Amino acid sequence: MDRLLVLVRHGQSDWNLKNLFTGWRDPDLTPVGVEEAKNAGKRLKALDLSFGIAFTSALTRAQHTLKLILDEVGQPDLQTIRDQALNERDYGDLSGLNKDDARAKWGEEQVHIWRRSYDIAPPGGESLKDTGARVWPYYLFNILPPVMRGEKVLVAAHGNSLRALIMALEGLTPEEILQRELETGVPIVYRLNADTTVAEKRVLKG
């Protein structure tokens, strides 16, 4: 029985392009992001995958990415569950700021700590550990069960919510997950063992 889980970070958003902290703010995809999402769908279609259910966040850029992927794989009406548990990390007071402006305001070292530490949150926002605290239960109780039943599951979400999920999935340490970069619009295909550990992983780059 195949236990397949596919994770995709949304395509480039308008605020990615402008170098802004996005978090829970809700910009849509750029034309480049639209193409990235379509290409992700084409790569999945080339594997002849057919999904049983899909999950995404409450934010437009992830939902739009998922819709474009499902159109490409020929499953536009697939059951889709949207939940803010899969939202991007909340950057709090940094949200909407240009990253260079944030460095000018708080200093490069402090902004680096907020961005790259595991458990230090920016003012009014979440750390990666905080993000994991909502992602991990959602994964265990909502995403993992259909995978283990043999359904092929697709998740379109965000860099940090997917980082938290991957941390649990691959058994990574905080130091290891902080080194992991996720490209926009690049599907990661996992096949799981019966004990929920990873049997195989494929990154579908162009």
Model pLDDT, residue 206: 72
Q: How far apart are CA 142 and CA 162, in angstroms?
A: 15
Model pLDDT, residue 135: 98
Q: How far apart are CA 60 and CA 27, in angstroms?
A: 7
Q: Identify the CATH class of 4-148+159-203.
A: alpha beta
- Neighbouring CB atoms inside 10 A of 19's CB total 11
Model pLDDT, residue 107: 97
| Strand order from edge to edge, sheet including 153-157 | 80-82, 53-56, 153-157, 4-9, 188-192, 198-203
Q: Is 88 annotated as a binding residue?
A: yes
Q: Is 74 annotated as a binding residue?
A: no
Model pLDDT, residue 201: 97
Query: Which among 149, 121, 125, 151 is positioned nearest to 51, based on CA atoms?
Result: 151
Judged against a pLDDT cut of 90, whether residue 154 lies above it is answered with yes
Model pLDDT, residue 88: 98
Residues 60-114 have pLDDT tens digits of 999 999 999 999 999 999 999 999 999 999 999 999 999 999 999 999 999 999 9
**Average pLDDT across the chain, whole number:** 96
Q: Which residues are catalytic?
A: 10, 88
Residues 187-202 have pLDDT tens digits of 999 999 999 999 999 9
In the chain, pLDDT over 70 holds for what percent of residues?
100
Domain ranges of the chain: 4-148+159-203
Q: Is 150 annotated as a binding residue?
A: no
Q: Is 23 annotated as a binding residue?
A: yes
Judged against a pLDDT cut of 90, whether residue 1 lies above it is answered with no
Model pLDDT, residue 164: 97
Helices then strands, counting H and E runs in the chain, come out as 9, 6
Q: Is 90 annotated as a binding residue?
A: yes
Query: Which among 106, 172, 165 is positioned nearest to 139, based on CA atoms?
Result: 165
